Amino acid sequence: MDTEGVKLFVLAAEKLNISAAGRELGMPPAVASARLAKLENVVGADLLRRSTRKVALSTEGAEFLPFAREILAQENAAMAALGFRREHVSGTLRFTASSTFAQQYIVPLVPTFLEQYPGINLDLRLSDMELDLIQGSFDLALRDSVLPDSNLKARRLADDRRVFCASPDYLMKWGTPDSPGDLASHQLIAFKSQTSIALLGPGGVKQSLDPRNTQNRLIIDDGLSYKIATLEGAGIALHALWSVHRELSEGTLVQVLEDYRMDAEPALWLVYPKSNVLTAKVRVFIDFLVDKIGREPPWLIK
């Protein structure tokens, strides 16, 4: 099957304009029409309905479209796996991640990625409210846990840690807790609706902390605001180390309860829909993020 004809069909189906699709592939209108007619002859069906006023997908075309996209994805992945045409990997990649993490670590790398892969467009949807990967038609997502969804796959990006911290001013006013039990007399800031947190203390002793049983007067669902509130002395908060490692180094935040850590420390994962093939555009973006962030995570370098 002529993959250039398949590519033309996919573009024409998206644009509902055969001439515009042909121009994008460098084909004159007459050549594009002939190429599409040849593909329709091979599959034995009219894929597009043409009239003098508009183009529309036929029933057969709508059924064939997802398979056509898979054919192109298979071709791109095969070439990328063999090291060919990496500079020609193309398409729009829809990516969702925590806005707080993306602002610090991903967005600054975007110009380098776009220069390295001029055929790829990035559609970044950044929010600290977790967006559904499948319903949102995302190619890739950053998560701090592997989702128990059989329709998803994941690749580990980097280790992570959670640390309790507060501002020096807060600790001067309220004192420094020596154990999780002391938090009952402190102001706590919760990210979203934090539930019970399993901790390991000295000697590996397990202990459970339920923020709902403390003076949890402030709940925030935005990561940057959560950190600002901690910096301004609103209370003690449990932060990802990647979010506050600079502030801890500078002394604007102070780690407390250093002898306690989460029983199951989270990690950062790149999650993508399960399919027969990992498309080239997703593969190269994953490899790029692992190379730039995952090999030496800045928050774990001492």
**pLDDT tens digits, one per residue of 27-67:** 888 888 888 888 888 888 888 888 777 788 888 888 888 88
User: What is the rounded distance in angstroms from the CA atom of residue 15 to the CA atom of residue 94?
Assistant: 18
Residue ranges in 175-279 assigned as alpha helix (H): 223-231, 241-250
CA dist., res. 79 & res. 112, Å (int): 22
**In 3-state terms, what secondary structure has residue 195?**
coil
Predicted local confidence at residue 215, as pLDDT: 62
| Beta bridge pairs of residue 190 | 219
Same domain, residue pair 39 and 131: no
Per residue in 66-85, pLDDT tens? 888 888 877 766 666 655 55
pLDDT at 242: 94
Please indicate, yes or no, whether residues 75 and 106 belong to a single structural domain of this protein: no
Average pLDDT for 242-258: 95
| CATH classification at residue 72 | 1.10.10.10
- For β-strands 215-220 and 162-166, DSSP reports them as unpaired
Same domain, 60 and 109: no
pLDDT at 169 (0 to 100)? 96
d(CA 91, CA 10): 12
Q: Using the 3D structure, point to which of 81, 111, 139 is the last residue of a domain.
A: 81
Q: Determine phi and psi for 121, rounding to 5 degrees.
A: -105, 140
Looking at residues 200-229, what average pLDDT do you find? 79
Q: What share of the chain in percent tops pLDDT 90?
A: 32
| Total of domains in the chain | 3
| Same domain? 156 vs 167 | no
Token pair for 254 = 């102070």
Q: Which pLDDT belongs to residue 54?
A: 79
What CATH number does the domain containing 235 carry? Answer: 3.40.190.290
Say if CB 47 and CB 39 are below 8 A apart.
yes
pLDDT higher than 90, residue 277: no
Higher pLDDT, 88 or 15: 15
Regarding whether 209 and 168 lie in a shared domain, the answer is: yes
What Cα–Cα distance (Å) separates residue 241 from each residue in 23, 138, 162, 192?
49, 27, 6, 18
Q: Among 51, 81, 111, which residue terminates a domain?
A: 81
Residues 292 and 215 in one domain: no
Q: What is the mean pLDDT of the chain?
A: 84
User: Under DSSP, is residue 163 helix (H, G, I), strand (E, B) or coil?
Assistant: strand
On whether both 289 and 151 belong to a single domain, the answer is yes
Comparing 37-41, 84-88, 93-97, which segment has the lowest mean pLDDT?
84-88
23 near 37, Cβ under 8 Å?
no
Structural domain containing residue 60: 3-81
pLDDT of residue 112 exceeding 90: yes
CATH code, domain carrying 274:
3.40.190.10
- 106 — pLDDT class (breaks 50, 70, 90): very high
Q: Which residue has the higher pLDDT, 230 or 50?
A: 230
Query: What confidence score (pLDDT) does residue 150 get?
Result: 59
Q: What is the mean pLDDT of residues 280-284?
A: 87
Phi, psi of 161 (to 5 degrees): -140, 155
Give the end of a domain, one of 81, 116, 134: 81
Residue 74 sits in the same domain as residue 196: no
- Cα separation, 242 vs 98, in Å, equals 12
Q: Are residues 117 and 51 in the same domain?
A: no
Q: Are residues 154 and 170 in the same domain?
A: no
Q: Give the pLDDT of residue 79.
A: 65
The pTM is what?
A: 0.67
pLDDT of residue 109: 96
Region of residue 91 (left: phi > 0; alpha: psi -120 to 50; beta: else): left
DSSP for residue 108: G
In Å, how far are 192, 228, 241 from 244, measured between CA atoms? 18, 10, 5
CB–CB of 47/21 below 8 Å? no
Instruction: Judge whether residue 174 has pLDDT over 90.
Output: yes
Q: Are residues 61 and 21 in the same domain?
A: yes
pLDDT reading at 217 higher than 80? no
Collapsing DSSP states into helix, strand and coil, what is residue 135?
coil
Considering the domain architecture, whether residues 179 and 256 belong to the same structural domain is answered as yes
